[in-house]
Structure 1
Amino acid sequence: MPGSARIPVLILTGYLGAGKTTVLNRFLAASGARIGVIINDFGDVNVDAALVAGQVDEPVSVAGGCLCCISDPEQLDDAFKKLTRPDLRLDAIVIEGSGVAEPPALLRIVMDSRVPKIRFGGLIEVVDAAHVPQAEAAGWDLEQHVRAAAVVLLTKTDLVTDPEVRTALETRIQQANPHAMIIEAPHGVFDPALFVDASESDDLEFGQLALWNPGETLGEPKTEHDHTHHHHVHHQSVTVEHDGPVDPVALSEFALDPPDSVYRIKAIVDIVTSSGPRRFVVHSVAGYVTVDSMSRGKDEPLASSLVAIGLELDGADLQARLKAVCLPLTTPPATASQLRRLTRFRT
């Protein structure tokens, strides 16, 4: 997909009554982005679609069963093809899974999709912090459902009056998935900018990349609140712009294993090869990496921009780590094996 932006697909899961639709509606109302929604109804009545259709730019219903159990995965690909039409200009696609959908299976379906215009944007598990015992008594498995999640949103935390209950829940989640980012969203309120950028385009010129998070200061993460427990915490970002190429091996390693506080990495980078400079667009969501080639002018100077987005970031440390990916102009061309360390994520 040279020169084209792929649309991130977010998977929103959680047991029935956990608050998925509330989270989705909050997300749609607050993001300012153009969102397409695939609503997976368990049954024949499209109830969830009725709840959100008024706020959705382009809703699609996959009715009659659980997405992770559909016999023909092409049904979901057909929905992706519809939502990736250029005229829709969508910034993201959200799949709201049914309450019985198994997150690992949903993730696998998206990752195995044959639609080239999408990329995985993260799996968000919604957990009703006040009613976990009741959900487990009904057969829901906390560990099974959070182990594939990039983010666990804890809803109804305002109803949990015993701090030991909350601590025990967070401990169980962390033990099941040490890499999951836990965010409190008592009323379904969270910062959507952590997940998607409004009107994102991979064709942005250099210098504009930093403007995706207006007002940030280099090395000092942008934030509007700073409370503990990630309660109403807004996203932060650290940007490094470099007048030169990057090391494809170092970038691939950083994208695969970002700091725990970093949810997303997005970058437009130049890499010097034996046949000349090449430009790539790199996205990493909780360690899931996608890479696309991007056109560049023949005589255009080398330049790279890297942005790390997350919660409670260590700005100085992140800036240093991002700068460590950058190379001087005099660096020899990357070898074929070094380049493959990054380009292997293009499929």
Structure 2
Amino acid sequence: MPSSARIPVLILTGYLGAGKTTVLNRFLAASGARIGVIINDFGDVNVDAALVAGQVDEPVSVAGGCLCCISDPEQLDDAFKKLTRPDLRLDAIVIEGSGVAEPPALLRLVMDSRVPKIRFGGLIEVVDAAHIPQAEAAGWDLEQHVRAAAVVLLTKTDLVTDPGARNSLEARIQRANPHAMIIEAPHGNFDPALFVDASDDDELEFGQLALWNPGETLGESQADHDHARHHHVHHQSVTVEHEGPVDPVALSEFALDPPETVYRVKAIVDVVTASGARRFAVHSVAGYVTVDAMARAQEEPAASSLVAIGLELDHADLQARLEAFCLPSTTPPASASQLRRLTRFRT
């Protein structure tokens, strides 16, 4: 990723036994990206850290119990500072929350972080589809835990033989969080490219944004891949390259409220202002938007690149919508209020 880019932080939550560690290991092995991990350690022996050892680039354990209950939030920021060192060249950071962590509180800790080199990358709730009654009998609250999720990964769906039970579960999730993307992930299988990009280079050449995807090569054995592809859909993407600026208002509205099948939007765009063209990196994860200013040579011609990533995309519709943001190079400068519609997401 670009050295100036902020590192996305993904939050992985789910009740004990739901399959978080299996999902995490799958993600680490299959993403093709450099991943840092922050793991809740409830005991003297960090079992989860042992399971991911050898796959993770830089593990960090946060002591003190549940992340959302730590007495000093600075502790989490200390972990972020360690993992955002430029020499690590991480593509993403994953927080594996404890089985009792409340997702909204975890999300708030990340959103309120004072570490400038990170951005929120999405909250993923892991739900064991086969053992919902047992989890709820033990005090777990489905609605509360999926309410803050950008994605709900349903594990052990191969054990659910009653279609009615599966439909009922999905209906409950959708009622609690209509914006959550529900993905089946039996055996922890899913497409990591939906969540994170892998880049081998320190600097991403402008115009190569469309290549900033690991694609469908998931780094798994052929047998695993043959099994997995029958249970989940690979990510899809729609890309628009434009030799000119974009409309900051239209782009900000799209990023804030993307189509329900779009999980991520990423863009490097130029906006014409009264003082000249300005370049921004825009990221949207399930409607959570971040914007960063990028360096740009004033004599450089305006150019923009936009990508929408999700599942079962309407390619023609998305292509048309992304192209509608594109303006001719001769477009009048955006007003200060129009520019603020986009830059308000800078933090």
Matched AA of 2:286? A
Q: Which deviates more, 150-159 or 329-338?
A: 329-338
Q: Distance in 1 between matches of 2:86 and 2:153?
A: 31
State the 1:202 CA deviation: 8.9
Instruction: After superposition, give the CA deviation of every residue in 1:55-102 in whole Å (9 maximum; x if it has no partner).
Output: 111000012310000010000000000000000000000000000000
In the other structure, the counterpart of 2:190 is 190
Question: Do the aligned partners of 2:39 and 2:48 also contact (CA within 8 Å) in 1?
Answer: yes
In the other structure, the counterpart of 2:152 is 152
Question: Do the aligned partners of 2:32 and 2:214 also contact (CA within 8 Å) in 1?
Answer: no
User: Within 5 Å, which residues of 2 pair with 1:196-211?
Assistant: 196-199=196-199, 203-211=203-211
Question: Do the aligned partners of 2:238 and 2:318 also contact (CA within 8 Å) in 1?
Answer: yes
Matched AA of 2:271? I
Q: Distance in 1 between matches of 2:101 and 2:270?
A: 40
Instruction: After superposition, give the CA deviation of every residue in 1:148-197 in whole Å (9 maximum; x if it has no partner).
Output: 00000000000000000000000000000000000000100000000000
Structure 1 gap segments, 5+ residues each = 217-224
Q: Distance in 1 between matches of 2:97 and 2:23?
A: 13
Instruction: After superposition, give the CA deviation of every residue in 1:125-155 in whole Å (9 maximum; x if it has no partner).
Output: 0000000110000000000000000000000
State the 1:48 CA deviation: 1.0
Question: Do the aligned partners of 1:182 and 1:230 also contact (CA within 8 Å) in 2?
Answer: no
Question: Do the aligned partners of 1:266 and 1:281 also contact (CA within 8 Å) in 2?
Answer: yes
TM-score, structure 1 normalization: 0.93
Q: Distance in 2 between matches of 1:111 and 1:85?
A: 19
Question: What is the percent sequence identity of the aligned residues?
Answer: 90
In the other structure, the counterpart of 1:234 is 234
In the other structure, the counterpart of 1:219 is none
Question: Do the aligned partners of 1:5 and 1:202 also contact (CA within 8 Å) in 2?
Answer: no
State the 1:43 CA deviation: 3.3
Question: Do the aligned partners of 2:39 and 2:60 also contact (CA within 8 Å) in 1?
Answer: yes
In the other structure, the counterpart of 2:135 is 135
Question: Do the aligned partners of 1:33 and 1:199 also contact (CA within 8 Å) in 2?
Answer: yes
In the other structure, the counterpart of 1:84 is 84
Say whether residues 1:97 and 2:61 are aligned partners: no
Q: Distance in 2 between matches of 1:176 and 1:200?
A: 39
Matched pairs, number: 335
Name the CA shift for 1:202/1:243 in 2 (closer, same or farther; >3 Å): farther
State the 1:215 CA deviation: 8.3
Name the CA shift for 1:130/1:215 in 2 (closer, same or farther; >3 Å): closer
Q: Secondary structure at the match of 2:54?
A: helix
TM-score, structure 2 normalization: 0.93
Name the CA shift for 1:53/1:215 in 2 (closer, same or farther; >3 Å): closer
User: Within 5 Å, which residues of 2 pair with 1:250-289?
Assistant: 250-289=250-289
In the other structure, the counterpart of 2:126 is 126
State the 1:201 CA deviation: 7.1
Question: Do the aligned partners of 1:39 and 1:48 also contact (CA within 8 Å) in 2?
Answer: yes
Question: Do the aligned partners of 1:66 and 1:100 also contact (CA within 8 Å) in 2?
Answer: yes
State the 1:204 CA deviation: 2.3
State the 1:297 CA deviation: 1.4
Q: Distance in 1 between matches of 2:330 and 2:136?
A: 59
State the 1:50 CA deviation: 1.0
Q: Distance in 1 between matches of 2:203 and 2:331?
A: 26
In the other structure, the counterpart of 1:178 is 178
Question: Do the aligned partners of 2:89 and 2:202 also contact (CA within 8 Å) in 1?
Answer: no
In the other structure, the counterpart of 1:346 is 346
Instruction: After superposition, give the CA deviation of every residue in 1:206-247 in whole Å (9 maximum; x if it has no partner).
Output: 32111224889xxxxxxxx9xxx9932100000001111001
Say whether residues 1:304 and 2:304 are aligned partners: yes
Matched AA of 1:285? V
In the other structure, the counterpart of 1:8 is 8
Question: Do the aligned partners of 1:151 and 1:183 also contact (CA within 8 Å) in 2?
Answer: yes
State the 1:53 CA deviation: 1.4
Say whether residues 1:33 and 2:41 are aligned partners: no
Q: Distance in 1 between matches of 2:151 and 2:3?
A: 30
Q: Secondary structure at the match of 2:171?
A: helix
Q: Distance in 2 between matches of 1:201 and 1:42?
A: 36
In the other structure, the counterpart of 1:329 is 329
State the 1:325 CA deviation: 1.0
In the other structure, the counterpart of 1:291 is 291
